[in-house]
Amino acid sequence: MCSASRLLLAAGAVLSLATLQAADLRVCADPNNLPFSNRQQQGFDNQIAKLIAADLGKGVTYVWAPERGESFVRKTLLAKRCDVLMGIPSAYPEALASEPYYRSTYVFLWRRDRNLQVRSLNDPALHRLRIGVHVVSDDASNLPPAQALANRGMFRNMVSYSIYGDLSKPNPPAALIDAVARGNVDLAIVWGPLAGFFAQREAARMAMVPVSPQVDRPFLPFTFSISIGVRPTDKDLLKSINSALEHRRNEIRKILMSYGVPLLDADLRAGSRP
């Protein structure tokens, strides 16, 4: 019995496996970037990607790529190594963005035992504090907290942490939140999802307050809507993702809340973009 048919069977198995894999939603993600994603798929974007894929009747195949610098999108999504990027700003120009699946804000973060009352970037108390911020180096611009402090001339208050961090350590951007917990800085201004997630994990109790104003002068937004990105030509895929986001809205919200992501709900419903 014929090796020929066995061969056929084997060929069939290979074929169906190939079809199955081709049918998977291919997601490019950072292997070491909680709370968003990691190789063990413990991030909220890992969970949401799984949910969206399930809604499309697909599994998820990951293409792991450290998310560093502008060429990331070019080397991953645009190079067709994957079909989807989670967690892009909704107005991101290099990819086609889905409807937002959450909207969050930069926050002030401090140890509760510091007894701070900071609510606003214009709070005079900030001038007496060591303020930790993430900075980026490869762009003509910077993360809003660093820029807002620079615009106020508060260089003596600013303690910079590279957003890239040390890739050999777990969750490189978390060094800033650790610095707050350890007392290396008095306060940090940090993207909400990072703050919410890592603050929960610190032994010290932490306080977290959304940055006000939401748009600092001259035009520096501290709130952003976040979308799923596809290649600009993948309009059909975008349509399916948008309806999956609609179907799974409540589940997605539950996931985000379980990771401590500060959510700005009203704006999300309106689907507004920064």
- C-alpha atoms less than 13 angstroms from C-alpha of 66 in its C-beta half-sphere: 14
> What DSSP string runs through 192-217?
HHHHHHHHHHSSS-EEEEE-BSSEET
**205-224: which residues touch other proteins (CB under 8 A)?**
218-221, 224
* Candidate residues 25, 88, 118, 121; the one interacting with other proteins per rule CB under 8 A: 88
Judged by CB under 8 A, the stretch of 16-24, 30-38, 204-212, 243-251 that binds other proteins is 30-38
Contact between 74 and other proteins per CB under 8 A: yes
Q: Is the dihedral of CA 82, 83, 88, 93 positive or negative?
A: positive
Q: Is 170 in the site for other proteins (CB under 8 A)?
A: no
What tokens appear for 234 in the block?
A: 């993948």
Interior angle at CA 58, CA 56 and CA 60, nearest 5: 120
In the list 41, 120, 164, 234, the residue contacting other proteins (rule: CB under 8 A) is 164
> What is the size of the binding site for other proteins (CB under 8 A)?
66
Contact with other proteins (CB under 8 A) among 41, 61, 160, 212: 160
Residue from 22, 156, 203, 266 in contact with other proteins (CB under 8 A): 156
Of 3 and 221, nearer to other proteins (C-beta) is 221
Q: Which of 155, 203, 250, 266 binds other proteins (CB under 8 A)?
A: 155
Q: How far is CA 139 from CA 57, 69, 71, 103, 170, in A?
A: 39, 8, 12, 24, 25
Nearest Cα to Cα of residue 56 among 23, 84, 78:
23
For residue 147, the tally of other CB atoms under 10 A from its CB is 15
The verdict on 184 binding other proteins (CB under 8 A) reads: no
Structure token pair of residue 237 = 């895929």
Residue (5 or 151) nearer to other proteins, CB: 151
Which residue in 46, 47, 142, 240 binds other proteins (CB under 8 A)? 142
CA–CA distance, 252 with 258 (Å, rounded to integer): 10
Cβ closer to other proteins: 54 or 164? 164
Site for other proteins (CB under 8 A): which residue of 180, 226, 238, 256?
A: 226
Site for other proteins contains 267 (CB under 8 A): no
